[in-house]
Amino acid sequence: MYRGSTPVYTIYMDGLQFSDLANLQITFTQDHQIMIEKSLSEMTVDTEANAASFSLTQEETMQLKVGTVDKQIRLMNGEGAVTLTRIFREKVEPNIREDLING
């Protein structure tokens, strides 16, 4: 992702329906600090595709440092059992401008 961009992420699940979840969180960290966190209530769920999508704002991506960001998803089912994904790493690229673009 580029700092200052508004990337869209889509989460797909096999073997588990989004409607069966009590909650889902995705956490973005840098240097072991939580930088961004999104929960299921902040996502758009497509029940037919069994997918949830969300985007990050310019402000959110601008707070990230150039380098890498770690991401992990936590799921809680209706019975309260929690499952975690492996940690995913994504590159954070610079942009020339340090201000936000407005329409």
Q: pLDDT by residue for the chain (103 residues), tens digit each?
A: 999 999 999 999 888 898 899 999 999 999 999 999 999 999 999 999 999 999 999 999 999 999 999 999 999 999 999 999 999 999 999 999 989 999 8
The confidence score (pLDDT) of residue 14 equals 84
Residue type, position 73, single letter: I
Cα dihedral 83/49/60/31 (nearest 10): 30
The confidence score (pLDDT) of residue 15 equals 83
Report H helices in the chain. Answer: 58-62
The confidence score (pLDDT) of residue 103 equals 87
Q: State how many domains the chain has.
A: 1
Residue at token pair 């969180």: 25
Domain assignment present for 97: no
Yes or no: say if 7 and 56 are a contact pair by the CB < 8 Å rule.
Answer: yes
Host domain of residue 48: 8-92
The confidence score (pLDDT) of residue 62 equals 97
Q: What is the CATH number of the domain that holds 29?
A: 2.60.40
Domain assignment present for 85: yes
Domain assignment present for 35: yes
Write the CA distances from 24 to 59, 81, 100, integer angstroms.
22, 12, 29
- Residue from 16, 13, 6 nearest 36 by CA: 6
Domain assignment present for 23: yes
The confidence score (pLDDT) of residue 16 equals 85
DSSP designation for 6: -
Domain assignment present for 103: no
From CA 56, how far away is CA 7, in angstroms rounded?
Answer: 6
Residue at token pair 């966190």: 37
Domain assignment present for 74: yes
Domain assignment present for 3: no
